[in-house]
Structures are given as C-alpha cells and as structure tokens.
Structure 1
Amino acid sequence: MTVQQQTIPEGYRADAQKRLIPESMIKPIDLERDALVLALVEKARAAHDVLSKFKASAFGDIEAFIELSAEQYGAQIGGKKGNVSLISFDGRFKILRAVQESIAFDERLQAARALIDECLRDWTEGARPEVVTLVNDAFRTDQKGDIRTARVLALRRLEITDERWQRAMQAIGDACQVVGSKSYIRVYQRVGDTDQYEPISLDIAGV
C-alpha cells in the first residue's frame, strides 16, 4: 500500500518508499532516531529564519545609512562595485558589505586559445615549461565542464611581449562577461589591542 495525498492514519508512519508501516512494527531505536532528526530540523529551520531576517535587515540598514550619509555630506561611501566597510566608533567591530561577481567567458575565449596555441607551437624549442603547464592547466575544465576563470585570468599576469600573446590576452579580457553577482555581509571583531580583526562566524561550520 502506498501513500498518495491522504492523511496518514493514526498509529502508522510513512517510510522512505511512502509505504504505511504500523508504529508497533517499527523498532524503538528507529522511532528515537526519527524524533531526534525532526527536532533538530525544526531548530535548524528556526535558525535559518533568524539568519534570513538578519541578512535582510542588515542589508537594508546599511543601504539606508549610505543614503543618509550621502544626503548629509554629498559623499559617496563605498568602494568599487558597492563594497563598503563600516567600523564602530571604538574600532572594536567592523562590518563588510561586499559584492562578489560571477564571471564567464564568451566565444572570444576560443580565439584567445588559438593565438596562445600558435605561440606555444612556435616557442617549442624555447618555451618555458612552466608557461606550457600554466596554459594547459588554465584551459582544463573542472568537474562541471566549466573553464576555471581565475586560472585563465592569471595568464594575463605573465610578462610575455609576443604580439600574438598580447592579442590573446586582450581577447581574454574582452571575453569576460559578468553573469551574476552575490552580495554578502561579514562581521568582524578586533583581536585584543592589535590591528587584526577576526570574523564573527555566521556559518554553522565555523561556530
């Protein structure tokens, strides 16, 4: 017998296959495990709601403060792409609001790869092995089949003057497309009387 949309009869439990099992046939340890899981899930949901409300409130309050400051002083608070750091009057606490952008490459990356391959073929005799390794590693896809953007962009830091290489680096820059962004807030507290700050973790793994 399987469970559809009907209410589970009193004295029964639905198992993972949606079958109705009489509670009298379920081992006590299985009932205890079920009760523990459900209790912890309920607490986790409550904690999630608290964090969600804090996040929404914090973003709203910070944005309101930035607008207030701009109105009063005509100054733009924050750095590149909306990043802003706020420090308490006594310097004990710091809040960072940052925007992390997701980058992908369009078809121009293929043109860059072709130019790079052309360079590597011509440099076969004199090419530095580490350059070849860096190039091959940069264009190797991850487990999802995606190009690892940070490693491709790192190629632009290599000081290679070959005109084809320079055109390839320009193509890489042109191929960069921002496909999304994610805003986050981090809260820090000063470590004693030092100039260092440590995060107040809001991640369950870091508490």
Structure 2
Amino acid sequence: MTAQQAIPAGYRQDAQGRLIPESMIKPIDIERDRLVRHLIDRASELNSQLADFKAAAFGDVRAFIEMSFEEYGAKFGGKKGNVTLLSFDGRYKLQIAVQDSISFDERLQAARALIDECLAEWTEGARPEVVTLVNDAFRTDTKGEIRTARVLALRRLEIVDERWQRAMKAIGEACQVTSSKEYLRLYERVGDTDEYRPISLDLAAIALPAEQPLQPAPGVH
C-alpha cells in the first residue's frame, strides 16, 4: 500500500489524484463534497451503532434464554433454533431466526440419473406435471446454482416407484448445510389486531415522513 499523499493547504485532491487549488474549484463542487462527506460521516456512526446494537441484542437474548433454562435445571447448548419473545402486553415481538445455507454434493447427480430413468418410462404414458416439476427443480438460477427448495420439494411427491424412492434418499443424503446465519427481527403490533408490522433497521425499507407542503414566509403572499 502506498502512503496517502499529503495535501498542501489551499488544495484539494480530485478523483484522479491530482491536486487542485481550491480557488479553481466551483462553489457547487465544494458544497457537493461537503454534503457527501457529512452524510457519509453520519452513516458511518449509525453503522457502528447498529453493529453494537446487534451484538448486544444477540448477547442479551442468549443470556435470557440461559436464565430461562436454568429455571428448569436445563443446560443451554447445542444447535440453536428460532426463538420468539413477546413483551408482557404482547405489543412487541422479537425473533431470532436461524437460516441455513444448503448445497448438494455429487449424490444429487445420482438422484437425477434415477429420476431420468423413471421419466423415460413415464413420459410415454403421461404424467406431464411430474416432468415439469422435475425439470423446473433441476433448472439453475441466474448464478448457475440449483434452487434448493425446489429440489427438496420433490420429496413431497407420493411416488412409490423403487427407483424414485432411492432418488429421494440420495437427495436427502446429498444435502449439506454449508453455513448458518442468525437474524434479529423486531415487530410492533398493529392496534388491537393479531397483525405485527416489522420495525425495520434496513435503511431502504424505512419510510420517509409524509412531506408537508411548503409554507410561505410570514408577510409573503
């Protein structure tokens, strides 16, 4: 890494690394730079605060679960699952959701070969809906990856053919959990209904306040 270039007083560095005298920079460009840096600084502070909040929230929830386990003489450990906590009045809900990332190993190809054997016989006698389901399940997405949920959905089909059953076993054994992520979700009850709306911490999902019409200054008509 190269050392950052020292910028002399009265100069600014442009996007190409050139030193430009401030006297040659348009006021609108200076104001744009000020605005961007101001908002980035605020965003960085919020990002740090959110990271601290997330770490504290997961820690507090785990500590509470351990305390709840201890009440019954149980030990908290092993694989962590989904957890929902409600405020006493039911107005607020907190969820810790665990999402596993699943991939398939080479046994998926064995399953596909067995399924193809079945389809080779079945297509002559009909069952077009099964053919459509299978082809759609093994179709890759835009990233070239198999869509896990659709492959696993094949196991719900009640087909008694012995080759199909072996194929479904191969699919089950081909599943590999590659990683797990925990998500914190917060909700607030909508009035007196059973519906909850999320309290979003995603900047893109937060609605702006309704814009108010501009009011003329006093004495201006």
The structure-2 alpha-carbon separation of the partners of 1:41 and 1:206, relative to structure 1 and needing over 3 Å to count, comes to: same
The structure-2 alpha-carbon separation of the partners of 1:120 and 1:27, relative to structure 1 and needing over 3 Å to count, comes to: farther
The answer for the alignment partner of 1:141 in structure 2 is 140
| CA displacement at 1:75 relative to structure 2 | 5.2
Q: What amino acid sits opposite 2:150 in the alignment? A: R
SS at match of 1:90: coil
- Aligned equivalents of 1:95, 1:88: Cα separation in 2: 8
The answer for the alignment partner of 2:123 in structure 1 is 124
- Pick which of 67-76 and 152-161 moved more: 67-76
CA RMSD of aligned residues (A): 2.1
- Pick which of 178-187 and 152-161 moved more: 152-161
Query: TM-score, normalising length from structure 2?
Result: 0.84
The answer for the alignment partner of 1:90 in structure 2 is 89
SS at match of 1:71: helix
Would the aligned equivalents of 1:120 and 1:127 in 2 still touch at CA under 8 Å? no
- Note the alpha carbon deviations across 1:163-194, whole angstroms, 9 max, x for none: 11111111111000000000011111111111
- Aligned equivalents of 1:5, 1:204: Cα separation in 2: 32
| CA displacement at 1:81 relative to structure 2 | 4.0
Query: TM-score, normalising length from structure 1?
Result: 0.90
Would the aligned equivalents of 1:95 and 1:187 in 2 still touch at CA under 8 Å? yes
SS at match of 2:125: coil
- Aligned equivalents of 1:55, 1:104: Cα separation in 2: 28
Q: Which has the larger radius of gyration?
A: 2
| CA displacement at 1:206 relative to structure 2 | 1.6
Paired-residue identity, %: 73
The answer for the alignment partner of 2:73 in structure 1 is 74
The answer for the alignment partner of 1:156 in structure 2 is 155
- Aligned equivalents of 1:81, 1:133: Cα separation in 2: 37
- Pick which of 13-22 and 105-114 moved more: 13-22
Q: What amino acid sits opposite 1:148 in the alignment? A: R
The structure-2 alpha-carbon separation of the partners of 1:129 and 1:184, relative to structure 1 and needing over 3 Å to count, comes to: same
Would the aligned equivalents of 2:115 and 2:167 in 1 still touch at CA under 8 Å? yes
Would the aligned equivalents of 2:123 and 2:131 in 1 still touch at CA under 8 Å? no
The answer for the alignment partner of 1:102 in structure 2 is 101
Aligned residues: 204
- Pick which of 174-183 and 152-161 moved more: 152-161
- Pick which of 141-150 and 60-69 moved more: 141-150
The structure-2 alpha-carbon separation of the partners of 1:50 and 1:188, relative to structure 1 and needing over 3 Å to count, comes to: same
| CA displacement at 1:83 relative to structure 2 | 1.2
The answer for the alignment partner of 2:49 in structure 1 is 50
- Note the alpha carbon deviations across 1:94-149, whole angstroms, 9 max, x for none: 11112111101011001011111111111121242232222122212222221111
- After TM superposition, the runs of 4+ consecutive aligned structure 1 residues lying more than 6 A away are none
- Aligned equivalents of 1:126, 1:95: Cα separation in 2: 52
Would the aligned equivalents of 1:188 and 1:200 in 2 still touch at CA under 8 Å? yes
SS at match of 1:124: helix
| CA displacement at 1:82 relative to structure 2 | 1.9
SS at match of 1:189: strand
The answer for the alignment partner of 1:204 in structure 2 is 203
The answer for the alignment partner of 1:13 in structure 2 is 12
- Aligned equivalents of 1:21, 1:117: Cα separation in 2: 68
Determine if the alignment matches structure 1 residue 39 to structure 2 residue 38: yes
SS at match of 1:125: helix
SS at match of 2:111: helix
- Note the alpha carbon deviations across 1:58-93, whole angstroms, 9 max, x for none: 10011111111111223578xx84211111111111
